[in-house]
Amino acid sequence: MLSMIGLLGGLVLLIILTMRGMNLLVVAPFCALLVAVLSGLPLFPQLAGENEANLVSNYMGGFSGFVAAWFLMFLLGAIFGKVMEDSGAADSVSKWIVEKLGMKQAVLAIVLACAILTYGGVSLFVVAFSVYPMAVGLFKQANLPRRFIPAALAFGSVTFTMTSAGSPEIQNWIPIEYLGTSPYAGWEVSAIVALFMAGFGYWWLRKMISRAVAKGEVFEAREDDPKVAEKELPHPVAGMLPLVVVLIISYLFHDSLEQSALIVALLGGVVAAFLLNRKYFTDFWEAVSAGTLGALIAIGNTAAVVGFGGVAKVVPAFDTAVEAMTNIPGSPLIGGAIAVSVIAGMTGSASGGQAIALPILAPHYIDAGVNAEALHRTVAISSGALDSLPHNGYVVTTIRAICGETHQAAYGAVGALTVIVPLLGLALAVILFSVGLGI
């Protein structure tokens, strides 16, 4: 009981302190300490037995493991975004989109840009880094409140694209290992759910922005915003080509290099941006330095939350919660969806929710005759719901490190689009599979 209080209390405290704008590098280990103390977990490796879990080892294991896996992608993604910003390429593309689509389509342009890159295999974090400079330009041109930029970025990246059939994102590939399916599992239902989430979510986002504008909110410029409007800008095609290069290289090398394809793709994007737009740079190396600093802040904040998850998943209460979630009576699709979604919420990771639940769920449900394709798609969609609570690494990075907003200002819209909309899509998927569609 005490362990469960510690686990839930630590999670709630982490969310509250995150919403209040506290420094995650301090808050996350403090909340992990609360979980460890109330669960009786040894604090230091010297106090634990051989190979026994302890606070320091598990927290730093999660922290350093994330940095080791993602540092180069964060670094190159941040540099790529800054290079696009400093050269004026992002501003050029944003102005072209506004001219072609009109001011009212600025939000749609951002959502589509994120969706195309995400479905093309570009990492969610990298997409946020890459599209943000363009988003600032578009919101500035359309005079829309900038606090909705994180919502636009997140909606285009982690909802109807991340967990859809055919998506190269890891959330669509993890179930393959356990269910023997393909990335196109349940594609009929997936297409319907994706269209629903895209349509309803975009309508809701536009509604929230319209209400804010009606109340007098406008775009508020900042000193560190790119100052490219007063100088000659690259041609929109030259501005767009580096994004295309990232997308193409990522697609071509995704199967052979997997995650490492992003390193090649982003490096190619930086080189393309430099070669195509070199005469428009204010200071190329200053942009590289600014991107490097941004990457360190972003990956530090995210790794801090991942470290918390590394502690949470080794305490006794977590095993109890997982066992309860994976033995929910009723429809296996509902039970699997709830289990993955709740675990993803506790760990702050969609892939983490799948990786923990599927080894337990898959054999049991497959032996019971559950359709593997339906379970694959349901699990994939459910992993992208509660994972987007305020402490999620992507959410923290996008709101704070990339967009420079506060949770108080930006998370309301982000939560609506990345938690509620996917939950509604999940319910629709379960209903469609239950009536036999796609099975």
Measured between alpha carbons, how far is 184 from 167 in angstroms, rounded to an integer? Answer: 8
pLDDT of residue 136: 87
CA distance 396 to 389: 9
pLDDT value at 334 more than 70: yes
pLDDT at 206 over 80: yes
The model's confidence at residue 241, banded by pLDDT at 50, 70 and 90, is confident
Return the beta strands (E) in 244-341 as ranges: none
Amino acid sitting at position 263: I
Q: How confident is the model at residue 421 (pLDDT cuts 50, 70, 90)?
A: very high
Share of the chain above pLDDT 90, in %: 18
Instruction: Compute the C-alpha angle 118/124/125, nearest 5°.
Output: 145
Question: Tokens 């051989």 label which residue?
Answer: 50
Statement: residue 391 has pLDDT above 80? no
Cα–Cα distance measured from residue 347 to residue 391, given in angstroms and rounded to the nearest whole number: 9
Report the chain's mean pLDDT, rounded to a whole number: 82
Q: 95-99, 256-260, 295-299 — which one is most confidently predicted on average?
A: 295-299
Indicate if the pLDDT at residue 228 is higher than 50: no
Q: Does 337 score more than 90 pLDDT?
A: no
Cβ neighbours around 149 below 10 Å, total = 28
Whether pLDDT at 426 is above 90: yes
**Which residue in this structure is represented by tokens 């709630």?**
12
Q: How far is CA 33 from CA 101, 254, 267, in A?
A: 51, 39, 39
Q: How many CA atoms lie within 13 A of 288 on its CB side?
A: 8
pLDDT above 70 for 369: yes
> For the whole model, what pTM was predicted?
0.73
User: What CA–CA distance (Å, rounded) separates 346 from 170?
Assistant: 19
Q: Is the pLDDT at 16 greater than 90, yes or no?
A: no
Domain extent listing, the chain:
2-43+52-217+230-434
DSSP 164: S
297 vs 215: which has the higher pLDDT? 215
What is the residue type of 270?
A: V
> pLDDT tens digit string along 139-179?
888 889 999 999 999 999 888 888 888 776 778 877 887 88
